[in-house]
Amino acid sequence: MSVPTAVAARTVCAPLPVLGRDVTVPLVTGGEVTYAALDYAASAPALQRVWDDVAAYAPYYGSVHRGAGYLSQLSTDLFENARGTVAEFLDCRPDDQLVFTRSTTDSLNLLARALPAGCQVFVFETEHHAALLPWKDARVTCLDAPRTPRQAVETLERALADRDPHGPALVCVTGASNVTGELWPVRELAAAAHAHGARIVLDAAQLAPHHPVSVRELDVDWVAFSGHKLYAPFGSGVLAGRADWLVAADPYLAGGGASRKVSRREDGGVDVEWHESAARHEAGSPNVIGAYAVASACKALTEAGFDGLVVREEYLIAKVRAGLAEVPQVRVLSLFGDDAPRVGVISFVVEGWNSSHFAAALSAEYGIGVRDGLFCAHPLVRTLLGGDARSQGECGAPEAAPGEKSLNAIRVSFGAGTPDEHVERFVNAVRELVTEGARWQYRTQDGRCVPAV
């Protein structure tokens, strides 16, 4: 299987400059090698542009919103301008609110706290735990994993048709799977939700770094994503969308910044008037640098042009998939099939290997960083693996129950900063490990597979 001609023939842009591209790491077999960071789906490296922007601002850092000094006013302007930049990046509607949070997980937990009473939530078992778990105070309907995009829409339509039509409802769905990288039919799912009187929130953690996300074109009610996956690893996230549920809900955190007016009552209690803007859910001193970093990344990706970034990523995806297809012992995990459009996230298992052992060998012997395990999407990975019993290899999987050590996989992920050499080294390393075996002995330590000393 070779790289498709249509992809190879197109002009592929150079990778965007990222931090860490020249970092060297030691090999257990001796010597050093430039580190190949292929775990973008967990945390992407910072764009050099983001780092430079943050470094330029850092000396001017000051308190936000309530300071009279020059640095405080500058920081306030920067923080609020960042909000506008991210809203523009997401193509938000004029009356949408954009709240800065800590991460996608934080964003979806915030929205879960804002659900109206009696709200029913519909979520596929294929979701990341950040989207699967926050809805504990709502009536949750967990939908089976679909095997085609059309089946996903039909499954949701059937579930929504059976719900109470008079109560509020919310659909939560990913834009791109953090396990298979496959793109989900977000626009069609949004149409199905709205046709049945439900709202929809898009988990764009894996989509936003790879493809443009338009709230208006996708017709979603909210979108959530994390800065650390968008080349801005400074602990910031975003929840953007409809204001009404957010304004009607109690503040996510109670404290300064969320409150507009606080007064004592004669009975000794306290009366509070809360903000109705995004500040309602941003209590405390905000993460100004994190918000600014997210805005910087949004600008950098927009200026680089998603058209070119997508072409480059499709080229890398084709190279990796072609290389893995040449190794019969490798099975790539997929819900929608080989032809499904996807981002640069690919999970697989290797016959005769425990995935933890394989990932450890890639790191220790080749300087390649990938992820192994269940990727905080346990129901999906277990569904994709089907409970198959496979050889355990020399190391057990992290967090595996007895008899379930084979139920883990390897994930390689990449993006705008990945050079060709990294994916080529990865493909060659997979082939060499499968055909020749590891050159080192490994053991399990604290639930991880590590080189034996």
Candidates 119, 124, 232; CA nearest to 175 is 124
Task: Tell me the sheet residues that pair with 237.
Answer: 101, 226
Q: Which residues pair with 412 in a beta bridge?
A: 346
- Dihedral pair phi/psi, residue 222, rounded to 5°: -145, 155
How far apart, in whole angstroms, are the C-alpha atoms of residue 205 and residue 175? 8
Which of 237, 243, 210 lies closest to 95 in space, CA to CA? 243
Return all residues near 289 (Cβ < 8 A) that are at least 6 apart: 54, 57, 58, 61, 234
Give the bridge partners for 297, in sequence order: none
Give φ, ψ of 135 to 5 degrees: -95, 30
The answer to whether 282 and 100 have CB atoms below 8 angstroms apart is: yes
- Whether 401 and 426 have beta carbons less than 8 Å apart is answered as no
Of 176, 108, 199, 187, whose CA–CA distance to 345 is shortest?
Answer: 176
106 with 227: CB under 8 angstroms? no
Q: Choose, from 92, 142, 172, 376, the residue flagged as catalytic.
A: 376
| CB 37, CB 20: distance < 8 Å | yes
Whether 376 sits among the annotated catalytic residues: the reply is: yes
Q: Is 425 helix (H, G, I), strand (E, B) or coil?
A: helix
Select from 60, 108, 54, 62 the least CA-distant residue to 290: 54
Q: Rounded to an integer, what distance in angstroms lies between the CA atom of residue 347 and that of residue 145?
A: 17
Distance CA 447, CA 189 (A): 39
Query: How many angstroms separate the CA atoms of 135 and 118, rounded?
Result: 12
Total residues belonging to the chain = 453
**End-to-end C-alpha distance for the chain, whole angstroms:** 39
Three-state DSSP class for 390?
coil
Whether residue 291 contacts residue 54, with contact meaning beta carbons closer than 8 Å, is answered with no
Could you tell me if 49 and 292 are in contact, meaning their C-beta atoms sit under 8 angstroms apart? no
> 3-class SS at 358?
helix
User: Contact 345/418 with Cβ under 8 angstroms?
Assistant: no
Which active-site residues does the annotation give?
A: 376
